[in-house]
Amino acid sequence: MSQTLNGPNDLGEGTPALPDIVAADGLQRSTLLDKCQKFTRAEELRNVGLYPYFRMIESAQDTEVMIGGKKMLMLGSNSYMGLTNDPRIKEAAKAAVEKYGSGCAGSRFLNGTLDIHIELEEQIADFLGKEAAIVFTTGYQANLGVISALVGREDHVFIDRTDHASIVDGSRLGFGRVHKFMHNDVADLDRLLGNSNARGKMIVIDGIYSMEGDIAKLADIVPVAKKHNAAIFVDDAHSVGVLGRIGNGTADHFGLTDEVDIIGGTFSKSLASIGGYVGADRDVIDYLRHHARALIFSASMAPACVAATQKALEIVIAEPERRDALWANTHFMLEGLHRIGLDTGDSETPILPIVIGEMEVCFTMWRMLHDAGIFVNPVVAPATPPDRTLIRLSVMATHTKDQLTRALEIIEKIARSLGIVNR
């Protein structure tokens, strides 16, 4: 029997509600769950052997991993420094568990702040060249917490169309209006800022864009931000370890640390752990401590993760040769892909996309590479436009030239068989 809905989640005022579904066992099933039954795309891909997600890895994240008892060359990891299996980091994590236990049993706001959380925040602030820093449980939560806490009802946030999902979601959680500018298009950003009459304005960008591997045009964005009195928040998730004099990110890479208001990121990539951080002026950090719901209402970063991050940060600073090796591997692989005749878009970093186009070809290439022992990631909509699917490669400082040469040989053979060379 139909009824009329009048609550905030209505289909519309006075719209009859859809009837519940009667399942095969005779029990009613809420229409809310109808979408789950209709979602068949994943199962269809599983049935034809082209489902690329949630692959079960049976070993540490390293240049080679074990999947299904088979050794594979890892070209799909974000461990740019190659530190996730470093024995020094594992020992630091073990020592933290011995001293502090396995978890904190509460949020940072109440009982979950350890002395090593404070130490890490001081180390991150110094690393970024900021007055203060705060640590979140994940990088995703850092973006949710910062944007939703700072962008109020009278404010506007301006995000790049290819910003990470956590930036998009943080912008949605805030009460301000969201504007999206064309990717790395500073003129479009300038136009949108000029049309805005908001009380406060914030520009949020990725330092390195995670799918295409290009670097934000921060040197051009800074004067535009000043022109319109807008704050700048750079998410350095993929930039730490990669850019900057000591691996300290995009702002340092451009010599613009003092011009960037907030720098955030994650520990889950170059820093071989999990967690998130934000560095800024001391008053901004103190405000976030008391207003960022993603911090206040989440259990705090586990002791082992904190200690692992501290040791990884120490190694990144002390061993610049790792960054040199990463960039040598990046240039070697990029030149090799170009020599084959593959389109890598605007990539200029260790993230190396192979532009495919058609989704079917993208999944087929992924499967062929997988069967040949190469772990890569297919990228399809909504992470990229539907007609611009990608095979996303990423290199580590610890890859050997022999490993990368073998990968290029396999990639070339498969790419030629699929007709995607020199399109």
Active site residues: 210, 238, 269
CB 384 within 8 A of CB 351: no
13 CB contacts (<8 Å, ≥6 apart)?
6
Q: Which residues pair with 18 in a beta bridge?
A: none
Closest CA to 279 of 256, 255, 292, 260: 260
